[in-house]
Structure 1
Amino acid sequence: MRWPRIIFIALLVLIFGAFLHYTLPQRDIVRITGTEIIRQDFSGLNRIFYAQGDSGNAQPDSRDLRLINAVFPDRVNEAGEVTRAGSVMVYRNEDTGFGWPPYFKLDSADLHAEASNLTSTGADPRWVAITHYGWRSRLLTTYPNAVEIRLVDGPDVTLIPWLSILILLGLAFVAFMAWRIWERFEDRVIDPIRDRLAVQWAKLKDRAAGRG
């Protein structure tokens, strides 16, 4: 019974970790290369990875989707030579409304205008920090959802994810308290019941063997 329990707990941890990685805010330092609006058809496979249309509008199976195209900084060596060109990234720009995850984003149109205004070229780059959640999957045609854009000093700026750290610390505290409560419940309730059942079972075995 030991290995099935370990595998079950490992699967729960893996699923919960993936849920947190998808939901918690992340920030990328990128250069915006353009914005566009495409017509997106939603299937049963990728529908759960999209939020909703603009708040107040109907939610059809096919609708316009705002996208923000960006590129990461180039990788350079100590001599300042480019060793690898920056990879590209595409973000969607959708309202989350009052659903899950609870970002309460209602300004996707304003964010689209802001992203268009911050578009720049490689010759004269403007670096921004895009706060987002979600995953980019070319197979499922899904994009991380941008929730905030902020101009930064350069591609090497360091950003500390204070909000994610606080959320993870809070979850760790809740998990620790739940474990302590379960331990006390097990000591005060489950263990005495288990001991009484063991004693009764031993008496039944003795009676069945003619020793009672």
Structure 2
Amino acid sequence: MRYVKWTLWLLVFLLVGGFLHYTLPQHDIVRIVGTENRRVDVGENSIFWSRAEVGMVNSTSRDVYFINARYPDGKTMEFRNEDTGWGWPPYFKVDSAGLMTKAKDMVSTAQAPVWVSITHYGWRNKLFTIFPNAVGVKQVEGPDVTIIPWFNIFFFVMLGFILLLIRRMWLQFRERTIDPAFDRAGDAWDRVDARADEAAAGARGAWGRFTGWLGSWKSKPRR
């Protein structure tokens, strides 16, 4: 059972960790090499695309902005640029066209690079055609700049505080309600057990008296 317990906890950790890693904002330092507006047919991976009602005509085929970029080490990355509206994740992004204009203005070449920080959420997966969604772009001084994820730090601090608060409330609830209830149940069980022992002792005494009475009816041996 111990292995089953730890396996379940591991699955919960992976699910929650994966959800947070996909949803929380990340910052990539890149050089934008191009932008485009591409027609996309959304299929089984529709969960990784914005909903159709966010400025789109339908959920199966629509135009999507894309930002093509390169990392300082030369690796490539493609970001989609879609509104999130009032849905999930709660970025409340409704300015994908404005973000596209900023990205076009920051396109640069390897000879004259302009380094930018693209804030995004999501993953890039070529097998399932998944792209991270850019929610912000700003120019930075160079490829070695460090972006401090203040939002993520604040989020995890608050999450830890809420978890500690919930744990404290649970311990108080258990101390005030559950433990006394178990104690009362244990006392009641002890009383029932004691009565059962008394009844059993009484039954043994009555049986002994009965068998003694029967023995008194036996004929005495003749002299």
Provide the TM-score with structure 2 as the length reference: 0.82
How much does 1:202 deviate?
Answer: 4.2
* Superposed displacement of residue 18, structure 1: 1.1
Find the residue that maps to 1:191 and give its secondary structure: helix
SS in 1 for 2:137: strand
Counterpart of 1:64 in structure 2: which amino acid?
D
Q: CA deviation at 1:125?
A: 0.6
1:95 paired residue number = 83
**Corresponding residue of 1:120:** 108
- CA shift at 1:28, angstroms? 0.3
Ranges of 4+ aligned residues in structure 1 off by more than 4 Å? 202-209
Cα shift at 1:150: 0.1
Higher relative contact order (CA 8 A, sep 6+): 1
Distance 1:98 1:37 in 2: 23
Bigger mean CA offset, 112-121 vs 57-66: 57-66
SS in 1 for 2:108: coil
State the Cα deviation string for residues 138-196 of structure 1 (Å, max 9, x = none). Answer: 11101100000100111011110111100111111001100100011111111122222
Distance 2:23 2:40 in 1: 22
Structure 2 counterpart of 1:114, which letter?
Answer: K
- Identity in percent: 49
The answer for unaligned runs of 5 or more in structure 2 is 203-223
Report the CA distance between 1:53 and its aligned residue: 4.9
Please tell me whether the aligned partners of residues 56 and 62 of structure 2 are also in contact (alpha carbons under 8 angstroms): no
Larger radius of gyration: 2
Query: Which residue number corresponds to residue 179 of structure 2?
Result: 191
2:122 corresponds to 1:134: yes
Number of residue pairs aligned between Structure 1 and Structure 2: 200
Return the alpha-carbon distance in structure 1 between the equivalents of residues 135 and 201 of structure 2.
74
Residues 196 and 8 from structure 1, CA distance in 2 versus in 1: closer, same or farther, beyond 3 angstroms?
farther
Aligned partner letter, 1:147: V
Q: CA RMSD in A?
A: 2.0
> Quick check: which one's helix share is greater?
2
Q: Hey, what does 1:42 align to over in structure 2?
A: 42
Give CA deviations for 1:56-109 in whole Å, capped at 9, x if unaligned. Answer: 4433211112111101002xxxxxxxxxxx211110000000111111110111
